[in-house]
Structure 1
């Protein structure tokens, strides 16, 4: 189905949500991948210690990001790449948390984006023993990728959402969310506005 969105995936240096050390982006237009972006990131000072466990998972070392751009430069590229797209991510709470945290840490405004979690969509689309990204991606016909490479993971996530949209005959992400009964998330000022409308202004005090 002709869905439009940007898939996003972060890898982090440690347990801090502000320690992003790489990001992968995949732009989907009319259900097809039209562009990709991968960047290594030098984590902000105070969030730049690399945990051995994280390095073991994604293979990114301090030496690899020593000459990489810091988040403000990468963020500018992300904003231009994604535009006003909805984001999709597998376990989106993590990736949206990283985006919000590192952006706030460097003193930039968190951008307005709605988002959908491909993990939750997969749970409502496939009958699997596990909904981890490699398993869910395989169900969508996307195999043999390097899990925990941010770009490969974003491509796998995109494949899941495109496949699920076709399976549910959903022409956009809002329709896909409604059919699968998956909550649409939001970050940035739009999230604040929606929270205020839902709970009233006193809820934010």
Structure 2
């Protein structure tokens, strides 16, 4: 089951998708965790106010990100790192429409040109593979025996997402993300972010 992918999770400062304030990244190569990254982020200007509801969810406050790298700087560094490690890599997120929406909106806010990405969604994969009462990240993680100690910590969520993909790869004996998605009747999406 030598699947390779990068699990990613963002937290946002407010309701704007562009307001990325934290990111967790877990890079898996040939079925093994090769790297993990966590960073608080300064959201792009104009999207950098923190709403009380978001703070209640993840606990990140404006003072916490004061010394953090700006989103634009961190994203450029991360893309270079991801491309160096796995140029044909696939991003994976739980409810990927949210996380890909954050990337797209934040990149637009800072003027980064859109680039092509392939991605898969563990929410869709989970719905296809498991019979559960809930398909939230904590519920799926618990059902497959993946630890999720601190939900809404971006790294913890990315690690849980990676664990779900590795469970799915084990169950399907898939040798690639494409095989895994096909086995469960889902797909790898192509988009520009």
- Residue in 1 that maps onto 2:10: 10
- Residue in 2 that maps onto 1:143: 147
For residue 183 of structure 1, report the CA deviation from its aligned partner.
Answer: 2.9
**Alignment gaps of 5+ in structure 2:** none
The equivalences for 1:112-191 within 5 A come to 112-188=116-192
- Residue in 1 that maps onto 2:114: 110
The equivalences for 1:14-163 within 5 A come to 14-83=14-83, 84=87, 85-163=89-167
What TM-score does the superposition give when structure 1 sets the normalisation length?
0.89
For residue 111 of structure 1, report the CA deviation from its aligned partner.
Answer: 2.7
For residue 80 of structure 1, report the CA deviation from its aligned partner.
Answer: 2.5
| Alpha-carbon distance in 1 for matches of 2:114, 2:145 | 34
What TM-score does the superposition give when structure 2 sets the normalisation length?
0.94
Q: Is the 8 A contact 2:178 2:187 kept in 1?
A: no
Aligned length: 189
| Alpha-carbon distance in 2 for matches of 1:161, 1:111 | 24
| Alpha-carbon distance in 2 for matches of 1:124, 1:149 | 26
CA RMSD of aligned residues (A): 1.2
Judged with a 3 Å threshold, the aligned counterparts in structure 2 of structure 1 residues 67 and 55 are, in CA distance, closer, same or farther, namely: same
Q: Which has the larger radius of gyration?
A: 1
For residue 144 of structure 1, report the CA deviation from its aligned partner.
Answer: 4.1
**Alignment gaps of 5+ in structure 1:** 190-205
| Alpha-carbon distance in 2 for matches of 1:2, 1:25 | 19
Q: Where do 4+ consecutive residues of structure 1 move more than 6 Å?
A: none
Q: Is the 8 A contact 1:2 1:29 kept in 2?
A: yes
For 1:4-48, what per-residue CA distance to the aligned partner results, in whole angstroms no more than 9, with x for missing partners? 000000000011010000000000011111110111110111111
| Alpha-carbon distance in 2 for matches of 1:140, 1:32 | 17
The 3-state SS of whatever aligns with 1:42 is coil
| Alpha-carbon distance in 1 for matches of 2:114, 2:8 | 15
